[in-house]
Chains A and B, each alone.
Chain A
Amino acid sequence: MKHHEPQIDTSPEVSDEVRKTTCYMCACRCGINVHMKDGKVAYIEGNRDHPVNRGVLCAKGSAGIMQVNAPSRLRAPLKRVGPRGSGQFEEISWEEALEIATDWLGRIRKDDPKRLAFFTGRDQSQSFTSFWAQNYGTPNYAAHGGFCSVNMAAAGIYTMGGAFWEFGQPDWEHTRLFMIFGVAEDHDSNPIKMGIARLKERGARIIGVNPVRSGYNAVADDWVGITPGTDGLFILSLIHCLIKAGRIDLDYLARYTNAPFLVNRDSTSPDYGMFLRDAVGTPQVIDRVTGRLAPFDRPGVRPDLSAIHREGHITHKPVMHLIAARYLSKDYAPEAVAERCGVPAERIRAIAAELARVAFEEEIELDRQWTDFRGETHQTMRGRPVSFHAMRGISAHSNGFQTARALHVLQILLGSVEVPGGFRFKPPYPKPVSAHPTPHSKATPDSPLDGPHLGFPRGPEDLALDDDGNPARIDKAFSWENPLSAHGMMHMVISNAHAGDPYPIDTLFLYMANMAWNSSMSTNRVMEMLTDTDENGDYVIPRIIYSDAYSSEMVAYADLVLPDTTYLERHDCISLLDRPISEADAAADAIRWPVVEPDRDVRGFQSVLIDLANRLGLPGFVDEAGAPLYTDYADYITRHERKPGIGPLAGWRMGRMGLTHGRGAPNPKQLQSYIANGGFFVKHIPPEAAYMKPWNRAYQDWAVGMGIYDSPQPYVFDIYSETMRRFQRAAEGHGEHQPPDHLRERLKTVMDPLPIWYAPLEHDSVDGDEYPLHALTQRPMAMYHSWGTQNAWLRQIHGENPLYLPTRVWQAHGFAEGDWARVSSAHGAMVVPVAHMAALNPNTVWTWNAIGKRKGAWALSDDAPEATRGFLLNHLIHELLPEKGDGLRWANSDPVTGQAAWFDLRVKIEKVAAPAQSQPAFEPINSPVGKGPDELRWKVGK
């Protein structure tokens, strides 16, 4: 037969129009081009101009089209008509829904505003929702950071004025050695993949430290399959090797850190462990030029890392002495930590040697002149091309804060933070603790809170305690139990509200937080708490309002449901006041805008909050006559000013001479400018200001011009945390703010001002012989939390989640493909399908996060694999530690920040006969939206 070809059209019309907005299929906030045909979403691709993703897009982002057509989408406001948890609702009008909410919220505000607990989940509008909550007047507000990665964020802020991900990034163009700790397959998603690609192109080495070798760890040149919870010990051993060999950047430490600060070493002195300060409170160093005391920041001062100073009878030593004394200890020698870490001593030494070699042998210099905060001009920018990134894997342990601090100190000792080739901050970071607020929690009826809820305590006087010293917040954030809980503790809200500890509440108001399922520890108990009744038959948590776009498990437990839009149907701003999308070389922010209109009776939650604020007459939202200031969220984004000239969006503001960026008056056409520019704004940092930002006068001045700071805020890195020492000192019995006695010993240990390692708390409280395995979850790259499961395309990639077992465990128990296992912790048991994985720490089991679903939720059929074979590890994790017999409720959280210690979990495993479905199994909930179609042939064009 002769070759024959038909003619085909190789230049079809792609779409009628491209609308550019911001993705929300996970937390990355990539730019997307939404191709429209006949007014419908036809195709989504990455926006090449966008600073975050530069054109690429992950599986989730490309599947956004299946999120808009998802059958799980709520259709109208819902009022519960059956018992809580049944999923029985009636659809009501928005007017009725808003009247109900206004009635409930209005009464609470008048009587006792703290009886409202308002917590938002994966909220990207926290500067707005917190503003609402502050003006409402409840102290009980936070988003989901407490159960996500507050350890990483808070340790970064307290140590160096910023952390990973949203705060900064590796210098992808210059780094030669990149080391990641506990990074699963997100946080962030596309930028890390793009960065890894760039490093591979450049021939840089990547070392992955993670018990599981998947995703980024699978493509790393070297994989360290560490034992969970021991990263801090491993890092301190690297520090030990580097200090012992003198492979630390002394010049950098002297100039840009508090390593030369003089510390009072007299244990009988009231200021023991505190810095020596001058009359105006500036920490003192010895100046190597004069050999005398000097304020660390005085022009011309060359701080000495070594010289001891005696004043009166009191000896003061530089922090560097304390560092050497601590980390040169044999306790941190590779041989001493190897077994606990599951990493051979010679491998620890090899990695330390490689860090030293790259940092010092491959030192780089950029030909850029800059002037530091002491006024010294440097002809070049010198860099040490070693960079780090870390996330949940080290953060979600009860020793995560100190571990994250250890990692930050490691990069600082190498002199690799904010230098070419190292880790770089993204505006509005760097930002010292002193530029952040302290927490506020004083509630007054009919009035706003006394200040912002969340902040960074400087000492015990900043804790959120009432006049009797009891926690002022329902989640006990900023209490002695976890003093530095900078993101709140969402995982404790339901448990504490149910226990009435520290007090009962009236209304629980949640947004985008699936607390009745994958966003709670001990999910089964949370469901009981949400439905529990008192002796009168009333719910212990009297009222629950919930806003979500989808029929999630949590919807079934709400009394009133406020249906949200999808991300393609709403206005949003990704603000420099909030969680920005900046790059190390640029400040950037972005919007979402309705590229399609909702086809149902749903409203963007932020606009609903404005409507409620107007009905409640909240200050900040209405004028003195009670007239609304804003009609909806788009109007707020455009016209709200946090302070004169500073609004939610930095681009295209009104200056005296026309349009300007950064500081400026509101511009009524601002959103149109954003839309015309592809949905985002980017302002590049001049080259001479792009590195050394905390100390670089050019950057500090640029940041002031942009409205990021009101005045230059140069600072040095806090290797030694005086804030932590203040808490430790209080625990030792000094000062007027004293912790309860039962917390003293713990505070003395965990508030150590230099990084330490201690075993995760659960490991101390459960029998390691009985529960020999560590159990973890990771989030797949193609799925984000529960949102993905309703997505017809993504659930074909990850529709179930076996428990992966290492070879040793697999063989010891005689498992074979298709087997099931009973997995038990000190808190519960479950029966789940298992699978073998060789590339895994030999004492660790793991599964994918949030694949398992409750029957009836998300418009899936009751026999969907997510509901029959999928499971949540959450059932095995308690929000409290096992009882100690002291009558106290000890949170399963980091004792410094309150971060939920998800990854401390210990389990045991046994082979069992396959059940009909994963256990525990729960009764189906009634779906308020019905079920999805049997077939999809989705083509919106012709």
Chain B
Amino acid sequence: MTALPDKTERKMGLVIDLDTCVGCHACVVSCKGWNTENYGAPLSDQQPYGADPSGTFLNRVHSYEITPDDGGAAQLVHFPKSCLHCEDAPCVTVCPTGASFKRAEDGIVLVNESDCIGCGLCAWACPYGAREQDAAEGVMKKCTLCVDRIYNENLPQEDRVPACVRTCPAKARHFGDLGDPDSDVSRLVAERGGFDLMPEQGTKPVNKYLPPRPRDSLQSAETEAQETWLEPVAGEAKGFIAWLDRALEKL
């Protein structure tokens, strides 16, 4: 069994905006590209051109339909999911070899692939299904929060963010220290009512999700304010031209 650090200096993580995510999978593929080429073994693909292609991905987007209780129109929510870098990460404590660990410095949960025996206990322990065993390498893969980007002195400062954050066209992904209440991401969580995914699991996830804003409010022009914008100046063309003459005088 593997110990978690008593506490972490920072709680680096992602804030994912479900109001804005258009479900384009840009983050999924950017992650696949970076992490195939970088930290640890490549993310392999089995039957890449065959009947049942399946590869290792550290980040996937799922889509869910929600039908409001009030009879309003159904909505589609895109839901990107990757490791949430939990404070009480069960995937670490369950690891028999110490391969899974949480960094004291920034809270990132990583797998030391050279110590990983591929037993799969961590994937079983994770309530979010955020770990994937690479079929070719036989080791557990997971989101590294691009630990090899965010401090990388070979990258310009502005690029020292996870690949998924850098690439997101809809700005639905934000990266920062959720342990610092004054950080941009913490403020965003406070302003928008950010929430924990499945808090009842008790893993204290660091990543947060921002809820979709209310939809479909524009149903009728019943209020007085709205009606004033549609008050007729004329019912027919002749009356309209008379109004037009008067209106033009004022121009």
Task: Give chain A's interface residues, CB within 8 Å of chain B.
Answer: 1-6, 8-14, 35, 37, 42-46, 48, 53, 55-63, 65, 71, 185, 189-190, 193-194, 196-198, 200-201, 205, 207, 213-216, 218-223, 225, 241, 243-247, 250-251, 254, 288, 304-306, 320-321, 324-325, 328, 344, 346-347, 349-354, 356-357, 360, 781-782, 790, 792-797, 799, 807, 837-840, 859-861, 863-865, 868, 931-941
Query: Once the chains bind, are A6 and B101 in contact (CB under 8 Å)?
Result: yes
Asked whether A859 and B49 contact (CB < 8 A) given A200-B19, A328-B236, A347-B220, the answer is: yes
Q: B66 to chain A: closest CB distance in Å?
A: 9
Q: A13-B154, A941-B37 are in contact. List 8 more A-B contacts (CB 8 A).
A: A1-B3, A3-B3, A247-B229, A254-B251, A324-B237, A781-B22, A792-B55, A840-B74
B26-34, B121-129, B200-208 - interface stretch: B26-34
Asked whether A799 and B53 contact (CB < 8 A) given A196-B20, A241-B230, the answer is: yes
Query: Once the chains bind, are A59 and B29 in contact (CB under 8 Å)?
Result: yes
Give the residues in chain B near A306, CB-CB below 8 Å. 241, 244-245, 248
B170 interfacial contact with A, CB 8 Å: yes
Task: Give chain B's interface residues, CB within 8 Å of chain A.
Answer: 1-6, 19-26, 28-30, 32-34, 36-39, 41-42, 44-55, 57, 65, 67, 73-78, 98, 101-104, 110, 112, 115, 136-137, 147-148, 150-155, 158, 163, 166-172, 212-213, 215-222, 225-227, 229-237, 240-241, 243-245, 247-248, 251
Query: Once the chains bind, are B51 and A861 in contact (CB under 8 Å)?
Result: yes
Q: Which residue of B lies closest to A796 (CB)?
A: B53
Query: What 10 A-B pairs have minimum CB-CB distances, sorted nearest first?
Result: A932-B49, A838-B74, A792-B48, A193-B169, A346-B220, A197-B171, A246-B233, A781-B24, A839-B74, A939-B42
Asked whether A207 and B218 contact (CB < 8 A) given A219-B20, A792-B53, A933-B49, the answer is: yes
A793 and B208 alpha carbons, distance in the complex (Å):
27
Give the residues in chain B near A53, CB-CB below 8 Å. 169
Interchain Cβ contacts under 8 Å between A and B, 14 examples: A5-B104, A8-B110, A10-B148, A63-B33, A200-B19, A215-B24, A218-B77, A220-B215, A221-B215, A225-B73, A306-B241, A324-B241, A782-B24, A937-B42
Q: B215 to chain A: closest CB distance in Å?
A: 6
A935 and B4 alpha carbons, distance in the complex (Å):
36
Partner of A8, one of B3, B147, B240: B147
Give the residues in chain B near A207, CB-CB below 8 Å. 218
Q: B247 to chain A: closest CB distance in Å?
A: 6
Query: Once the chains bind, are A197 and B49 in contact (CB under 8 Å)?
Result: no
Asked whether A223 and B215 contact (CB < 8 A) given A250-B244, A936-B45, the answer is: yes
A357 and B147 alpha carbons, distance in the complex (Å):
49
- The binding surface of chain B is classed by DSSP as loop
Query: Once the chains bind, are A193 and B37 in contact (CB under 8 Å)?
Result: no
Partner of B22, one of A196, A250, A251, A941: A196
Query: Once the chains bind, are B75 and A213 in contact (CB under 8 Å)?
Result: yes
Q: B51 to chain A: closest CB distance in Å?
A: 4
A864 and B52 alpha carbons, distance in the complex (Å):
7
Query: Once the chains bind, are A48 and B158 in contact (CB under 8 Å)?
Result: yes
Query: Once the chains bind, are A939 and B36 in contact (CB under 8 Å)?
Result: yes
Q: Which residue of B lies closest to A190 (CB)?
A: B169
Asked whether A935 and B24 contact (CB < 8 A) given A43-B33, A63-B29, A193-B170, the answer is: no
Q: A204 to chain B: closest CB distance in Å?
A: 12
Give the residues in chain A near B33, CB-CB below 8 Å. 43-44, 62-63, 65, 793
Query: Once the chains bind, are B148 and A349 in contact (CB under 8 Å)?
Result: no
Partner of B170, one of A196, A245, A246, A351: A196
Q: B90 to chain A: closest CB distance in Å?
A: 15
Query: Once the chains bind, are B236 and A197 in contact (CB under 8 Å)?
Result: no
Most chain-A Cβ atoms within 10 A of its Cβ — which of B29, B65, B247?
B29
Q: A683 to chain B: closest CB distance in Å?
A: 25
A934 and B104 alpha carbons, distance in the complex (Å):
40
Query: Once the chains bind, are B240 and A193 in contact (CB under 8 Å)?
Result: no
A781 and B26 alpha carbons, distance in the complex (Å):
9
Partner of B154, one of A12, A37, A61: A12
Give the residues in chain B near A328, CB-CB below 8 Å. 234-237, 240
Q: A875 to chain B: closest CB distance in Å?
A: 23
Asked whether A864 and B51 contact (CB < 8 A) given A328-B234, A797-B25, the answer is: yes
Tell me how many residue pairs across A and B have CB atoms closer than 8 Å: 335
Most chain-B Cβ atoms within 10 A of its Cβ — which of A2, A3, A60?
A3
Q: B200 to chain A: closest CB distance in Å?
A: 26
Asked whether A933 and B172 contact (CB < 8 A) given A5-B103, A10-B152, A352-B230, the answer is: no
Query: Once the chains bind, are B37 and A45 in contact (CB under 8 Å)?
Result: no
Asked whether A250 and B170 contact (CB < 8 A) given A3-B104, A59-B28, A321-B237, the answer is: no
Q: A63 to chain B: closest CB distance in Å?
A: 5
Give the residues in chain A near B4, CB-CB below 8 Å. 3
Query: Once the chains bind, are B147 and A353 in contact (CB under 8 Å)?
Result: no
Q: B185 to chain A: closest CB distance in Å?
A: 15
Asked whether A244 and B36 contact (CB < 8 A) given A9-B148, A251-B251, A346-B222, the answer is: no
Query: Once the chains bind, are B221 and A243 in contact (CB under 8 Å)?
Result: no
Give the residues in chain B near A321, CB-CB below 8 Å. 237, 241
Query: Once the chains bind, are B226 and A12 in contact (CB under 8 Å)?
Result: no
Query: Once the chains bind, are A4 and B98 in contact (CB under 8 Å)?
Result: yes
A357 and B226 alpha carbons, distance in the complex (Å):
8
Q: Which residue of B lies closest to A861 (CB)?
A: B50
Give the residues in chain A near B172, CB-CB below 8 Å. 197
A214 and B23 alpha carbons, distance in the complex (Å):
9
A360 and B48 alpha carbons, distance in the complex (Å):
55
Asked whether A201 and B171 contact (CB < 8 A) given A244-B234, A939-B36, the answer is: yes
Give the residues in chain A near B222, CB-CB below 8 Å. 346
Q: B27 to chain A: closest CB distance in Å?
A: 8
A908 and B44 alpha carbons, distance in the complex (Å):
43
Most chain-B Cβ atoms within 10 A of its Cβ — which of A198, A247, A353, A934?
A353
Give the residues in chain B near A838, CB-CB below 8 Å. 65, 67, 74
Give the residues in chain B near A218, CB-CB below 8 Å. 22-23, 75-78
Give the residues in chain B near A194, CB-CB below 8 Å. 169-171
Query: Once the chains bind, are B25 and A222 in contact (CB under 8 Å)?
Result: no
Partner of A349, one of B23, B47, B220, B233: B220
Query: Once the chains bind, are B229 and A59 in contact (CB under 8 Å)?
Result: no
Give the residues in chain B near A196, CB-CB below 8 Å. 20, 22, 170
A542 and B212 alpha carbons, distance in the complex (Å):
58
Query: Once the chains bind, are A305 and B244 in contact (CB under 8 Å)?
Result: yes
A350 and B101 alpha carbons, distance in the complex (Å):
55
A864 and B32 alpha carbons, distance in the complex (Å):
22
Give the residues in chain A near B51, CB-CB below 8 Å. 861, 863-865, 868
Most chain-B Cβ atoms within 10 A of its Cβ — which of A10, A61, A221, A931?
A10
Partner of B218, one of A2, A225, A351: A351
Q: Which residue of A lies closest to B61 (CB)?
A: A797
A25 and B98 alpha carbons, distance in the complex (Å):
42
Give the residues in chain A near B147, CB-CB below 8 Å. 8, 10
Give the residues in chain B near A931, CB-CB below 8 Å. 49
Q: A320 to chain B: closest CB distance in Å?
A: 7
Q: A181 to chain B: closest CB distance in Å?
A: 16
Query: Once the chains bind, are A936 and B48 in contact (CB under 8 Å)?
Result: yes
Query: Once the chains bind, are A353 and B229 in contact (CB under 8 Å)?
Result: yes
Query: Once the chains bind, are B230 and A934 in contact (CB under 8 Å)?
Result: no
A851 and B41 alpha carbons, distance in the complex (Å):
31
Q: Which residue of B lies closest to A798 (CB)?
A: B25
Query: Once the chains bind, are B251 and A219 in contact (CB under 8 Å)?
Result: no
Query: Once the chains bind, are A246 and B247 in contact (CB under 8 Å)?
Result: yes
Asked whether A250 and B168 contact (CB < 8 A) given A14-B152, A215-B22, A350-B218, the answer is: no
Most chain-B Cβ atoms within 10 A of its Cβ — which of A6, A304, A799, A863?
A6
Query: Once the chains bind, are B233 and A244 in contact (CB under 8 Å)?
Result: yes
Give the residues in chain B near A71, CB-CB below 8 Å. 49
A56 and B20 alpha carbons, distance in the complex (Å):
15
Give the residues in chain B near A4, CB-CB below 8 Å. 2-3, 98, 101
Partner of A347, one of B57, B148, B218: B218
A868 and B51 alpha carbons, distance in the complex (Å):
9
Partner of A11, one of B46, B55, B153, B231: B153
Query: Once the chains bind, are A223 and B216 in contact (CB under 8 Å)?
Result: yes
